[in-house]
Amino acid sequence: MRSISRSVRYCEHDLNTRFHACKLYANGRYTVREVMRRYKVSKASLMRWMRRFDGTRESLKSQSRRPKTPHPNAHTTEEIRHIENLRKRNPEIGLSELYGKLREKYAYTRHPASLFRFLKKRGVFVRNEHRNTAYRPKKYETPKEMGRKMQLDVKYVPKECYAGKNAKQFYQYTMIDECTRERFIYAYEEKTSHTTYQFLKRAALYFGYLPGIIQTDHGTEFIKNRKTDAIHLMERFCDSLGIEHKTIRTYTPRHNGKVERSHRNDNERFYRVMSFYSLEDLNHQMKQYLRRSNRIPSSSLGWLSPLQKRKALQEKKDDVKKLLELLRL
């Protein structure tokens, strides 16, 4: 069934409907009501078509609805002549300047909007509509070495998952290896530089190696947003271990797309069906979920799980070490 928009005041019948309705009524074997019911047209429309109908389709084509006489408030021929003369002598003239000269020289009394509408109908001062070009993601080179680069972010734990007495806000810290997609997550009751420092130590122990680069957003738990001589705890941690801390462009979470996508997976796979009573309970369930999520295959890894990808890279690395030892011999 065709739906008609509410903004449409009149749905015009097509030429075939008009022709067959008039042809059927002209035969004289059907009444007006029968023709109306069969073709779903009004009596006024049918009678209007019959006055024009001469047996051909061309006689029923839509005619122009343009008024035969100009509107009484339309621009006069003299005003049109003044406007065209000024535009001819000043091709680059703007709307405001044109309006001012018309008032000054020719006692033009119309509103500027009236002049604008007149010029727009003539195709003057009509700007092309600006269309925002669709965002096209640039090609991103994912590291092929384990531990080359990691993404770090903080996620708000949904409040509806908390089943305790006093309403609290919990935060999930997440670190993901860009190469293997292996993750480490841990929850805290706050997001500060101290919890970031604690999480980084836990993550280093979990992965068993240090990353070359850690990429974060501009949150205060990661950097100092104000000019100060104090050193952020995360900067102190990275400097002491020779890790590069890289920040993404502000208000552009897609630059941390891997960790952001993993947070969406957490909502669908974990938080949608879980509830917890305390921070200890949350971290206990998180540990079990982390073990599960790192074993889920991913299409970006060739349908390997993060742990399988890590194992394959480690075996490849061991083979390279053995080859180097043989070459030394």
Any domain includes 72: no
Q: What percent of the chain has pLDDT over 70?
A: 91
Q: What is the pLDDT of residue 225?
A: 84
Do 199 and 296 share a domain, yes or no? yes
* 317 pLDDT more than 80: no
Any domain includes 19: yes
Q: How far apart are CA 218 and CA 225, in angstroms?
A: 8
The 10s digit of each residue's pLDDT in 233-244 is 999 999 999 999
* 2 pLDDT more than 60: no
Average pLDDT over residues 68-97: 88
* 216 pLDDT more than 50: yes
Do 53 and 95 share a domain, yes or no? no
Do 176 and 302 share a domain, yes or no? yes
The per-residue b/e assignment along 216-247, b for 16 or more CB within 10 angstroms, e otherwise, is bbeeebbeeeeeeeeebbbbebbeeeebebee
What is the count of structural domains for the chain? 3
Do 174 and 51 share a domain, yes or no? no
The 10s digit of each residue's pLDDT in 151-182 is 999 999 999 999 988 888 999 999 999 999 99
Domain membership of residue 47 as a residue range: 15-60
Do 221 and 116 share a domain, yes or no? no
Which pTM value belongs to this model?
0.60
Please give the order of strands across the beta sheet that includes 244-247: 183-188, 171-177, 149-156, 213-216, 244-247
Q: What is the pLDDT of residue 134?
A: 82
Do 251 and 289 share a domain, yes or no? yes
What SS3 class is residue 191? coil
Do 113 and 161 share a domain, yes or no? no
Q: How far apart are CA 125 and CA 119, in angstroms?
A: 7
- Any bridge partners for residue 175, and if so which? 152, 184
Do 279 and 163 share a domain, yes or no? yes
Q: How far apart are CA 27 and CA 22, in angstroms?
A: 9
